[in-house]
Structure 1
Amino acid sequence: MANIYFELLQIAIGERKMLSRSLSDNDWQRMFIFCKRQALLGVCFSGVEKLYGLGESCPLDLWMKWYGYAVRIETLNQKLNMQCRELTAQIENDGFGCCVLKGQGNLLNYSENIRYRRNPGDIDLWVSSRFMRDAGTEAGMCSENSIKGMVVENDAKSVSCYGCRDVIRYVRNQYRQSAAGKRVKICYHHIEAPSVDGTHIEVHYRPAFMYSPLRNIRLQRWFAFNMDECVKNRTCMGFSVPTASVNVVYHMCHLFSHYFETGLGLRQLMDYYFVLMAWHNDCMDSNNTQFNELLAEGIGKNCMSKEEVMHTLKSFGVAKFAAAVMWVLHEVFAMSSRYYICEPNEKEGRRLLDEIMRGGNFGQYDMRCMALKNGGTIKHGIWKLKRIAGLVRGYPEHALCEPFFRVWHLGWRMIH
């Protein structure tokens, strides 16, 4: 049955024309449950519509239910896009550099017919105060205009325009101004901002992280080096997103983090499928002579070759995981080998796909050790150790560093 699931997904994204066999009513019910668990209801409904035009259709009551989900997803995407424009405009007006990560930042990568049927989540923003220096500030200190809305007035003189501390102050001040009265949730790479009309918002000062200290230092330096380009990469949707080359590296690191945390779903792998498409179209298929001329004139964006992408991922310790992702993308999405960034690793890929199929979106449906996972702090810690122990053989450096990072992170959160 699993191959049929993948076939519908391939039809939706345009990699396939028809199913290999007709489906019974029970098969369609199982298909719907699979799509719901993987957060793919909207995209896969486009495949259902294509099949309907070819004479293959699901039961009418299920079709109507599915259609209702698809319409709600389209409406929600429109709402989140508007909120992204408003939030980034406000943050930039307050003197920060900002771009939209993941979710809504990926919509333009998708083909037009399914763009607004991607199941949305929360809004993730990458925010930095380093751009305040470019606005005419002196000696690394903020002017009165640039700190507008960032900190309370009596705190303004003590704030320097550097690093994540300004971003944390800025978000905490948003809570004070909104009188939300909520305890601020903060971790190493992001802080929760006040929700907007029910939309959960995360403000990142570090887009991702690695458990290994050495790999994490390299990753944070790479992000710092590439942030200017991402903040300036304004799209037709009215907000900035990471460039294609940054996305192809960042998303792989993001997938790896979720694989260690709770698990991955096919929605995240589908995002990466379209990230690779966008990167390949922007960089690999471009005219090199014309591209170099544009760069020499200060126009255009820096594009990384396949070799540069893999060299970067190896320096972060995720090359083996990248090979597993390539196998899954080929198996599930029928991705052509011309889009590979490395040779697929079937053994690790099968293991990754088994986790995805068992756990669903972010591992929410993985019944193994569910009592431990949701049984309080101590039981959750035991569940996490068991999960990490299962990853030692495949990714020993990161798995062995994870418990130490968790202890250090507890202290970091207590301080902040």
Structure 2
Amino acid sequence: IWVSTRFRKAGFRNAVLKGQGNALLYPDPMLRNGGDIDIWLDGERDKIIGYVTHLFPNVKVQWQEVEFPIRKDTCIEVHTVPALMFHPADRRRMEAYFDQHRDEIFSNETELPGEEGKVCIPTLRVNLTFQLIHIYRHIFNEGIGLRQLVDYYYLLQHCLKTGQTSLLPETALMVKHLHMSRFVGALMWVMQEVFLLQDELLVLPADEREGRFLLNEIMLAGNFGQHDSRNQIKKSKWGNFWQQTTRNLRFLTHYPREVIWNPWYRLTQFIWRKRKGYK
């Protein structure tokens, strides 16, 4: 609550993404293990980054997010856009989608468990698409966390509980526009295999072949890639760049658009940070 209030007083409408809002959908909100605090600010990218770097000059800045180390015991990430896609056309479609629902999100106030006051969180309609994009992105970075799958399971159950399954075709259409159909079909198979997800809650038809590949990746990587022996930490930035590029080649035949554009995105982001003087 205090993070949201601070940014609101600084003139930024904001919404808390993922975790804290997802906890509300659990049978007991306190059962969900908390993670980072991700908060999306409404405003121009340079203005948002300028506000944060004025307070913390040495923080790590990326195109879509910037660290906000105001508390040592909690990792806070400030987002200039809720999610990221590497392919430029898909990224533009994604950002246009969030822009379309911007006012809807920044007016969706709710109370968090164990807190006093209200914060804004994405609506169910937006969350159904946003969290799929977020899980998809994790494939190409540290790996998918099991908590993300549980979160999405309860999000789908909330659709059923509140009689809003009519939102699923809209989600499916957006998934197709973003060229994520193969991934989402795989994810639906995994969720049926692991969580016994009901057929009426499938965003797209379950794809067993792709699903087995995805489940194998999840099991190999462990929770957020913490136990993936294939992820050897390199000391240099270029070493990390090369490692991630070669690591993602195993996804080339499954998700070619993101794999091919990943190195280009990371290179252009590196140049952008250097031009701006960011860390």
After TM superposition, the score normalised by the length of structure 2 is 0.92
Identical positions, percent: 33
* 1:281 paired to 2:161: yes
Task: Spell out the pairing of 1:19-168 with structure 2 (5 A cutoff).
Answer: 85-112=1-28, 115-129=29-43, 163-168=44-49
Offset at 1:197?
4.5
Aligned partner of 1:46 in structure 2 is: none
> Which protein shows a greater Rg?
1
Q: Quick check: 2:15–2:39 contact (8 Å CA) kept in 1?
A: yes
Out of 377, 380, 383, the position equivalent to 2:243 is: 383
Q: Is the aligned partner of 1:253 residue 2:253? A: no
Superimposed CA distance per residue, residues 291-314 of structure 1 (whole angstroms, 9 cap, x where no aligned partner): xxxxxxxxxxxxx63221111111
For the residues of structure 1 that align with 2:145 and 2:167, how far apart are their CA atoms? 27
Q: Tell me, yes or no, if the aligned pair for 1:245 and 1:279 is still in contact at 8 Å.
A: no
Distance in 2, matches of 1:328 and 1:345, equals 9
CA deviation after TM superposition for structure 1 residue 173, in Å = 2.7
| Partner residue in 1 for 2:63 | 188
Shift of 1:381: 2.3
Paired with 1:387 and 1:197, the residues of 2 have a C-alpha distance of: 32
Determine the C-alpha separation between the residues in 1 that align with 2:159 and 2:82. Answer: 19
Give the deviation of 1:87 after TM superposition.
1.0
Residues 252-401 of structure 1 correspond to what in structure 2 (within 5 A)? 252-282=132-162, 284=164, 305-368=167-230, 370-371=231-232, 373-401=233-261
Which whole-Å CA distance do the structure 2 matches of 1:203 and 1:278 have between them? 27
Give the unaligned 5+ runs of structure 1: 1-84, 130-162, 176-181, 286-303
TM-superposed CA distance for 1:100, in Å, is 0.4
AA aligned opposite 1:89 = T
The count of aligned residue pairs is 271
Greater helix share, 1 or 2? 1
Inter-partner Cα distance in structure 1 for 2:160 and 2:271: 42
Q: How far has the Cα of 1:375 moved from its partner?
A: 4.5
Measured in 2, the distance between the counterparts of 1:96 and 1:385 equals 36
Equivalent residue letter for 2:77: E
- Residue 241 of structure 1 deviates from its aligned partner by 0.6
Any conservation in 1 of the 2:83–2:130 contact (CA below 8 Å)?
yes
Q: Which residue number corresponds to residue 68 of structure 1?
A: none
Look up the equivalent residue of 1:274 and give its one-letter code. Answer: Y
Shift of 1:404: 1.2
> CA offsets, 1:309-360, max 9 Å, x none?
1111111111111111111111111111121111111111111111111111
Contact persistence 2:132–2:184 (CA under 8 A): yes
Question: Does structure 1 conserve the Cα–Cα contact (< 8 Å) formed by 2:168 and 2:201?
Answer: no
Check conservation: 1:100, 1:241, Cα contact below 8 A. Answer: yes
Q: Does 1:169 align with 2:44?
A: no
Offset at residue 102 of structure 1 (A): 1.1
Deviation at 1:378, TM superposition (A): 3.2
Ranked by relative contact order (alpha carbons within 8 Å, sequence separation 6 or more), the top structure is: 2
Q: Structure 2 unaligned runs (5+)? A: 113-117
Q: Which amino acid aligns with 1:257?
A: R
Equivalent residue number for residue 402 of structure 1? 262
Q: Write out per-residue CA displacement over residues 102-154 of structure 1, whole angstroms, 9 at most, x where no aligned residue.
A: 11121111112xx212121110001113xxxxxxxxxxxxxxxxxxxxxxxxx
CA contact (8 A) 1:123 1:201 kept: yes
TM-score normalized by structure 1?
Answer: 0.63
Q: What is the root-mean-square deviation of aligned Cα atoms in Å?
A: 1.6
